[in-house]
Structures are given as C-alpha cells and as structure tokens.
Amino acid sequence: MTMARATTSTVAALCFLLSCVSATPSTLAASSAIIHDIIRGLADTTAARVRTDAEATARASTDFGTNATADDAARPAAVFYPSCAADIAALLRASSASASPFPVSARGRGHSTRGQATAPGGVVVDMASLAVAAGRDETATTNASSTSASARLAVSVDGRYIDAGGEQLWVDVLHAALAHGLTPRSWTDYLRLTVGGTLSNAGISGQAFRHGPQISNVLELDVVTGTGDMVTCSKEKDADLFDAVLGGLGQFGIITRARIPLAPAPARARWLRLLYTGAADLTADQERLIADDERRGGALAGLMDYVEGSVVTDLQQGLIGSWRSQPPPSSSSFYSATDAARIAALAEEAGGVLYFLEGAVYYGGASDTTAADVDKVTRST
C-alpha cells in the first residue's frame, strides 16, 4: 500500500482497520471490555443502536468470500447501527482517543471476499442502518444550486449528478437516475452492491474500457476518517484523501456519501453473446471490439458500449442456467432449446471448456448510435 502522498488525516485513518489476526484471546477480551465501556457511553449520547449479542456479531463476522468465519476469535465485540454520519464519527473518535484503539470496519451487504468488512474483537458498523434511519425509499430531485442534505439519494438534473449515501445499492441509484432520463456511466456487473463498497474496491464491469472503473467516475466524497473527522473531499479539495479512499479497501476512511456524474440514458440496448473454443480467438475479438480507431478495430471500432469475456466450465451454472440466462423453455432465456443443444455439442468437442464474449450497443434516446449501426455490428460479428 503506497502512502507517500497521504495527508496527516489520511495516515491517521489507518488506525481503525488494522488487522487483529495476531491478537491473542486475552488481548481480544481486554479490548472487548474497553469497547463495551465506550459503546455504552456512545449509546447514551447518540441516536445509534448497539448490539453485542451472538446473533448480530456472528452475522457480522462472515462475508461472501467465506474466508472469515463466525468463531469466537473472528467475531466483533459489537455491531454499531448508526442513524447518521455523525454517529460513525463519534465511534471513531472514541476509538482513536482510547488508550487501546480498536478496529472498526464498515459493512454494507457483506460482499467482500477477504474479510475486509469484518473487525475481529472490534466494532462493525452496519451501514444499511443509515438508509433505514433516513427512509429506505427516500429520493429527492434538486437543481444544481439546491441539494437536499437529508435525502440518501438526491438527483441534480441540472448538475447531471446524483448524491448517494455510501450504504445505497447501485440498483436504487440507477432507478433514481432513470426517473429523469439519466444514468451513471460506469457500473459493476451485479447492482445489488453498495456505493461505498464498490468505490472502496474499484467497481469494474464491461463498460470500464470506455469510461474507466467506478472509482474514476466520482466527483466528490463525504468521508469519516479514522480520527473521526468528517471530511468532504474531491480532486480539488483534500485530493490525497480522495484518491486514497477510492479503491483503498476501507483503510483510509468510511464513505458516507458519493457524488456520481450522470449522463443521458439510452433508450434501447442490443446484447450479443459470442462463443469460442479457444482463448486466443476470444481475446483477439475483444481487442477489436474495444478499439477506438478503425486501424485496430476495423468497422466495429468505437461502436460497442459494453464488452466482457469469460471462461465457462459448467454450462448450466455459468452460461445457460445461471443468473445471466434462465434455461429454455423459460421466456427469459437467452437461448432456445436448439441453441442449448448446439452449445452442449460445442462444449463436448472443446473438452468441456468454452469461452464467451458478451457485448452491448446502446442506441436511441440521446445516443448517437442508430438502429442501422446496431445492425452493422450484428452483421460484422
């Protein structure tokens, strides 16, 4: 982790997510006693809720990657349910000021893969409670000079951005933006992830070749640092902290709000899926589809809006019967029964391994791409 350009507040923020892997049961027990004293004090002075019961701490000690377990050594001492960013700041100030600072971790939906959302012997902050406190479905429409501070999803139509709480799901960000004919430019493949969670990683999908990852599409952040400072940062203000938090795996601060730029949403999309028996052919076509000039991409250069390649060893779980496409005869299936049989035969011929490339072209609405352009792509592929 590079820290050469980190500011003082950024460096201080490291204290709240230091690993406790080397901690012994006795030190964890002592830390838990200190945490309980601090939590009791916080609960008396904030609107936050605190749980130390086994059900809450066990749930907060596991994640999607299952590399962390729910045994006693991995459990947090408490789970903190804040009602606002100031509650989180109070917790972090208490940890920072303590003679024995304890680890604090922000948890969205627990989709981390290596325990980043856990805090053995420390405190896990349940970020979803911010939305519950504000009203889960609350949205607001504003102009460029007036943004609702209380809403956890606030669209500025004139400013072409959306302010989203760090706990908000990207699918809800999309719905709020689409209500005004707008959309973020860069996504993740799975939209039921939190804004703060993906911005703490990278946020990569098949649109990244054109717009960059999600961390390259942020205008401003509200961050709570490890010393409990509440900072609004951007490329122009506290830029070092801004750059450190984006993709920083939660080590430099907790994201409580992000301002995401929006663009006009296309009216329609044409989705293509191409199958290959070899990786070399797939990557060659992939290079053509993401090229930005005709010398490298030919007639397809610059037309594709989404390109992503995958390898599949289990057709039912990875291609035909997965979340991407229900198996035939389902009406939502991408394939007909004839297609499924042909794919199975191709897989057998290829030794059970297939490669596939997905691509999408957006058109209609504000897009410059026309239906004729889409037909050109279809014929060329």
Cα torsion angle, 233, 234, 237, 240, sign: positive
- Catalytic residue list contains 111: yes
How does pLDDT run across 242-255, given as a tens digit for each residue? 999 999 988 899 99
pLDDT higher than threshold 80 for residue 56: yes
Which one of the listed residues 111, 126, 163, 238 is annotated catalytic?
Answer: 111
pLDDT higher than threshold 90 for residue 218: yes
Residues of the chain with pLDDT > 90, as a percent, come to: 38
Determine, yes or no, domain membership for 2: no
pLDDT higher than threshold 90 for residue 225: yes
Which one of the listed residues 220, 308, 339, 373 is annotated catalytic?
Answer: 308
Determine, yes or no, domain membership for 65: yes
One domain, residues 192 and 301: no
pLDDT of residue 214: 97
- Catalytic residue list contains 167: no
Determine, yes or no, domain membership for 116: yes
This prediction's pTM:
0.79
One domain, residues 311 and 252: no
Determine, yes or no, domain membership for 314: yes
One domain, residues 58 and 110: yes
Alpha helices in the chain (DSSP H): 8-12, 25-45, 54-59, 85-97, 128-134, 170-178, 195-199, 208-211, 239-245, 279-290, 294-297, 315, 337-349, 371-380
Q: What is the CATH number of the domain that holds 217?
A: 3.30.465.10
pLDDT higher than threshold 80 for residue 381: no
Residues of the chain with pLDDT > 70, as a percent, come to: 69
Virtual CA dihedral for 330, 357, 205, 270, nearest 10 degrees?
Answer: -60
One domain, residues 345 and 298: yes
**Most confident segment among 17-21, 209-213, 375-379:** 209-213
Q: What is the CATH number of the domain that holds 120?
A: 3.30.43.10
The mean per-residue pLDDT over the stretch 210-217 comes to: 95
More confident call, 331 vs 144:
331
Determine, yes or no, domain membership for 317: yes
Determine, yes or no, domain membership for 245: yes
Task: Please confirm whether the linkage preceding 329 is cis (ω < 30° from 0).
Answer: yes
> What does R_g of the chain's alpha carbons equal in angstroms?
23
One domain, residues 90 and 56: yes
One domain, residues 58 and 157: no
The mean per-residue pLDDT over the stretch 187-216 comes to: 93
**Most confident segment among 43-52, 149-158, 255-264, 360-369:** 255-264
Determine, yes or no, domain membership for 1: no
* Residue 94 near residue 38, CB atoms below 8 Å: yes
One domain, residues 18 and 100: yes
pLDDT higher than threshold 90 for residue 241: yes
One domain, residues 211 and 233: yes
If one counts the domains in the chain, the total is 3
Domain end call among 75, 110, 132: 132
More confident call, 352 vs 254:
254
pLDDT of residue 340: 78
Q: What is the CATH number of the domain that holds 298?
A: 3.40.462.10
Task: Please give the structure tokens belonging to residue 151.
Answer: 């809403």
Least confident of 57-61, 122-126, 269-273, 325-329: 325-329
* Mean pLDDT taken over the chain: 78
- Catalytic residue list contains 211: no
DSSP secondary structure string for all residues of 85-149 = HHHHHHHHHHHHHSSS---EEEESSS--SSSTT--TTSEEEETHHHHHHH-TT--EEEBTTB--S
Determine, yes or no, domain membership for 3: no
pLDDT of residue 34: 66
In which band, very low, low, confident or very high, does the pLDDT at 19 lie, cut at 50, 70 and 90?
A: very low
In which band, very low, low, confident or very high, does the pLDDT at 92 lie, cut at 50, 70 and 90?
A: very high
pLDDT higher than threshold 80 for residue 103: yes
Range of the domain at 112: 8-132
One domain, residues 128 and 140: no
Which one of the listed residues 36, 72, 180, 189 is annotated catalytic?
Answer: 189
The mean per-residue pLDDT over the stretch 193-222 comes to: 94
Least confident of 88-97, 114-123, 131-140, 231-240: 131-140
- For residue 193, the tally of other CB atoms under 10 A from its CB is 21
* Residue 360 near residue 378, CB atoms below 8 Å: no
The mean per-residue pLDDT over the stretch 50-72 comes to: 77
CA distance 234 to 243: 8
One domain, residues 148 and 203: yes
Domain end call among 234, 264, 294: 264
Least confident of 13-22, 283-292, 363-372: 13-22
One domain, residues 259 and 141: yes
One domain, residues 77 and 168: no
pLDDT of residue 207: 92
Domain end call among 106, 132, 158: 132
pLDDT of residue 289: 87
pLDDT higher than threshold 60 for residue 3: no
Q: 65-72 long-range CB contacts below 8 Å, 24 or more apart?
A: 65/112, 65/113, 65/114, 65/115, 67/113, 67/114, 67/115, 68/114, 68/115, 68/118, 72/25
pLDDT higher than threshold 60 for residue 48: no
